[in-house]
Amino acid sequence: MSDDGPLDRRWIGRWLIGMGVIHTIAGLVFHGSALGEIAAAGIWNTLDAQGRDGGRSLAFWFLIAGFILALLGALVDWIERHHGGRVPSLLGWSLLALAALGIVLVPTLAFWLLLPPAIAAIARARRASGPSSSGPRRA
């Protein structure tokens, strides 16, 4: 694939990896005391499923979300590298849905950072599949 512009460059996966790394670092910085409490309590069975554990569950899910985002980013980067920058449209639509839900529920958080890779993934998929995929299929 030629390098015709920013949509052709391999950056969507790297963007998601970056978000995951930053999310994890923020979790360590802002929830370090809760993570310390988990370690001090012996790790095993130290979280409460209803979140009544003084922020320990929040710290855990903050780190897990960062890890999963970085893992997803690594997979997307692999797809971009091995498939000429093309990623499945499902990825773009899923990221867009996640961003929209997060922005509506908690507009002060960084869910809006999912919009650029979501839109780029949708645009790439549409461009890669050609004009016939922009409308309904004809028999």
User: For the segment 35-56, what is each residue's pLDDT rounded down to a tens digit?
Assistant: 999 999 999 988 988 878 888 9
Angle at 108 between CA 91 and CA 122, to 5 degrees: 20
Give CA–CA dist 134/120, Å, rounded. 16
Structure tokens at 112: 């809006």
For the entire predicted model, the pTM comes to 0.81
Higher-confidence residue of 139 and 101: namely: 101
User: For the segment 92-103, what is each residue's pLDDT rounded down to a tens digit?
Assistant: 999 999 999 999
Sequence spans of domains, the chain? 12-130
Give CA–CA dist 70/21, Å, rounded. 6
Picking from 43, 68, 63, the residue whose alpha carbon sits closest to that of residue 53 is 43
